[in-house]
Amino acid sequence: MCCACGGGETGGDGDEEDDVTPIPDEDEDEEDGVIPDEDGTIPTVEELMMEFDINGDGELSLEEFAELFAKYCETCPFSSAQELFNLVNEGGDTLNMEELEKAYALITDPDDDGDDEPTPAPVPVPVPTPDMDFDAWVIEQKIPETDYFCYLEIHNEWHNGYNLFAGHDCAIYDLTLTVMARRNDWDNHFQAASSDAQPLGCEDIGTFDRACKYILHPTNNKLGIRFDADADVDLWYETEWKNCVEEATE
C-alpha cells in the first residue's frame, strides 16, 4: 500500500505527519491553450521564430507554422494550423514577425482583442436619454398661472421611480437651474433627462454630493430628470435668472 494514501505507520507519539506528495493537476500548467516547455516557461515570439524557422528566412511558412501549432496549440480554440494561419496572415505565403506576434497573442490569450489602450472613464455628466414616455410626462406637466412675474414650478412625483419636473413661464429670462443630489444618485440611479434638456455640466460638491446645471430658455422652458426607485433623491436646487432679450439686442 502507498504511504501517501494512508498506509504505513506513523511515529510512536502520533505527532509526526505523513510526508504526502500532492498529485499535480495535469492541466495546471496550461494557460488558455499554450503548453509551456518542459521547464515550465512559455517561449517568447522570438524564440518560437528561431525554433521553427527551418530555412532561416525570418518568416514561417504554413508547414513551419504547422509544426509550431502541433506543439504549442493542443487546446487552442482553432481547428487547424491553417485556420489560425489564415486569420493572422495579411497576404503572402508566410508569416512575418508581426503576424506571428498576433498568432502568439491568440494562442496565449484567446480572449485578447489586441486593444491595449484602456477605455477612458466616462465624464460624470448625465446625458439625456430619449424616452418617449418620460418626455410625454414632462410635456403634460402644467405651469400654473399666478400673480408672480417669472414663476418657477418645480415638483417631484413617484412613477416607479422619481420624476423631477422644473418649468417656468418667463418670456424674457433664461433660467440656469442647478440641481444638487447625492453623487451616488447621479452615478448609479440617474435614468434619464428629457430629450431636449440642455445640460451645462456637473461638479462634485462636498463629500457626497454633486451639482448639475441645466438651462431653460423661454422657448424650451421645461425640464425633466428621472432617478430610479433606489435613489435617495435628497434634492436641492438653486436658480439664476438672466435677461435674454436685453442680451440679444446688445
Per residue in 190-227, pLDDT tens? Answer: 999 999 999 999 999 999 999 999 999 999 999 999 99
Q: What class does CATH assign to 29-108?
A: mainly alpha
Q: Are 20 and 59 in contact (CB under 8 A)?
A: no
Task: Provide the whole-model pTM.
Answer: 0.48
User: Start-end ranges of CATH 1.10.238.10 in the chain?
Assistant: 29-108
Q: How far is the CA of 104 from the CAs of 59, 111, 246, in angstroms?
A: 14, 12, 67
Say whether pLDDT at 145 is over 60.
Answer: yes
User: Start-end ranges of CATH 2.60.40.290 in the chain?
Assistant: 132-249
Average pLDDT over residues 47-66: 89
- d(CA 140, CA 143) in angstroms, rounded, equals 10
Residue 247 makes CB contacts below 8 A (sequence gap 6+) with none
- d(CA 235, CA 71) in angstroms, rounded, equals 64
Q: What is the mean pLDDT of the chain?
A: 81
Q: What class does CATH assign to 132-249?
A: mainly beta
Per residue in 73-129, pLDDT tens? Answer: 877 788 888 888 888 888 888 989 998 888 888 877 766 554 556 666 665 666 555
Say whether pLDDT at 188 is over 60.
Answer: yes
More confident of the two residues 9 and 111: 111
Say whether pLDDT at 236 is over 80.
Answer: yes
More confident of the two residues 155 and 246: 155
- d(CA 81, CA 70) in angstroms, rounded, equals 8
Radius of gyration (C-alpha) of the chain in whole angstroms: 34
| Beta-strand runs (E) in the chain | 60-61, 94-95, 152-158, 162-168, 173-182, 190-193, 199-205, 209-216, 222-227, 236-243
pLDDT at 184: 96
User: How does 192-228 read in b/e, with b if 16+ C-beta sit within 10 Å?
Assistant: bbbeebebeebeeeeeebbbbbbbbebeebbbbbbbe
- d(CA 237, CA 142) in angstroms, rounded, equals 19
Cα-Cα-Cα-Cα dihedral of 92, 98, 102, 108, to 10°?
Answer: 130
User: What is residue 49's three-state secondary structure?
Assistant: helix
